[in-house]
Amino acid sequence: MNLKSIKIGKLHTENNVFLAPLAGYTNAVFREMCYGLGAGLTFTEMVSAKGLYYGSEKTRELLHVTKDYGGIKACQIFGNDPEIMRQACESEALKDFDLVDINMGCPMPKIYNNGEGSALLNDLPLAGKIISACKKSGKAVSVKFRIGLDENRLISAEFARMCEDSGADMICVHGRTRDRIYAGAVNYNEIAAAKNAVKIPVIANGGVFGSSDAEKIMAKTGADGVEVARGAMYNPWIFAKICGNPLPDKRQFVLTQLEKTEELYGGRFACVFMRKMCAFYLKSQKGCAQIRAKLFACPTCEELKELISALSF
């Protein structure tokens, strides 16, 4: 893959291989470790603009950045009220963030039915007002969206132009429709249509689980970069592979992730979270069902560390 820096407003990324925002997964430690493997940009979990507006402490906790993270600080927010979105961008909670990504692609019913996420594909004028309002904060702004609601309503090029006209500095296009959720083939043609419609950087997303997938989506779409989502949950060292960096000792990587997660979030969260992550990391291994059962039987971080030390990743 042709690695290059991406210019987002006045910002310049280290490369064009990004970690996507993943609700429930891209916490501060996971972002730090993916950055260490080679990710040129990482995003926080999806954060509610209303939560920030009303001062929710749980919402603010999603915005933590570790002291060892050295990349561009980027968060993703969602909402459907332009004024609340602007105030979220200008809030104390986001003062240290350089880039705000607006979620206009989440397909989940609880988000969609509230008129947020991919529901904004239904209302381009409102989506444009949200982008313009966020730009008033002075921060760099990117937008992540899907190619349409279903195969009968594919609007990648139109939506991309609206984003650019409204002031977006970059867009990321997930090559599936809202009704597909995360299933089915990625529509490369629609990502390419978005790329051909605008001058701002276009990042391709969807179905990237290995280096060959990254090469394919770049070649098929002409995109400026690639964003890895679920592929990073199963295989965070994908960033090292795509970027040509040395692979880490995987067992030590997982142990370090556990230790850092425990230090930052406490033992209860770390144990539950890392049992889940280890199950992802080991999914393709022979006997993974038995290993998974042992993982989820570990009640403490200490017992989980002992089990991880005996596993082969």
Catalytic residues, by residue number, are: 106
Both tokens of 198, joined, read 């605008």
- d(CA 64, CA 86) in angstroms, rounded, equals 20
Specify whether the CB–CB gap between 68 and 32 falls below 8 A. Answer: yes
Quick one: which of 169, 25, 23, 6 has its CA closest to 105? Answer: 23
272 contacts: CB under 8 Å, gap ≥ 6: none
H helix runs in 222-266, sequence order: 230-234, 238-243, 250-265
Q: What share of the chain is helix, strand, coil (3-state, %, to 5)?
A: 45, 15, 35
Both tokens of 65, joined, read 């950045």
In the DSSP assignment, the letter for residue 80 is S
Cα 78 to the center of its chain, rounded Å: 13
DSSP for 144-213?
EEESBSSTT-B-HHHHHHHHHHTT-SEEEEESS-GGGTT-S---HHHHHHHHHH-SS-EEEES---SHHH
First to last CA, the chain: 25
- d(CA 218, CA 188) in angstroms, rounded, equals 9
- d(CA 272, CA 43) in angstroms, rounded, equals 22
Residue 42 CB-density burial (10 A; 0-12 exposed, 13-18 middle, 19+ buried): buried
